[in-house]
Amino acid sequence: MRCDASRRASGGSLPPANMTRRPRMQARRKTRLYIVLAVLAGLGLTVSLTLYALSSNIDLFYTRGNYLRQNGNPGATPYRAAPAGGGYVQPGSLQRDPQTLDVRFKLYDARGVVDVSYKGILPDLFREGQGVVARGVLDGERHITAQQVLAKHDENYTPPEVKNAMTPEKTGTQP
């Protein structure tokens, strides 16, 4: 490679200014870059839409104490979803309105007691002393208006259909 002075002396000219710059990106590389960027953008959009869709289906569970520690801000929850409060139905607290489906009861745990009101049909496993989850809104400092009540069962629970199928007279087999 000759230096610029020897090039001028031999009558050669310097290359134009645009030739001294880096060569433009090759078409194949440019196409590959666009494909990678499109895939990354599509992946980002897919993840964003998935997280947005799942956020409305997240069930949040709070204990009695969590509800009561909301610093005097009833109804406020960390998220937009209706929170679920769990505990045990206090014995003697169940009140049913005979003309409507309105039910009132108290949930308790080691940290406190909260009143719950619910309009609807209660689950078959619901009873006093039973563990339940009330999903709804904290209306006052110690009151939940439940939109859904779920009864918990222990690990020994067997559905009636299975229990009936397992009895000897139903199966026709002798033990």
CA proximity to 89, closest of 113, 121, 63, 110? 113
Q: Given this model, what pLDDT does residue 40 score?
A: 98
Residue with tokens 């979803």: 81
Sorted by where each begins, the domain ranges of the chain are 18-55, 60-151
Highest mean pLDDT among 33-42, 92-101, 132-141, 151-160: 33-42
Between 24 and 101, the more confident residue is: 101
Residue with tokens 């990106």: 25
143 is in an annotated binding site: no
Q: Right CATH number for 60-151 from 3.40.640.10, 2.40.50.140, 1.10.10.10, 3.20.20.70?
A: 2.40.50.140
Q: What is residue 85's three-state secondary structure?
A: strand
Evaluate if pTM is beyond 0.95. no
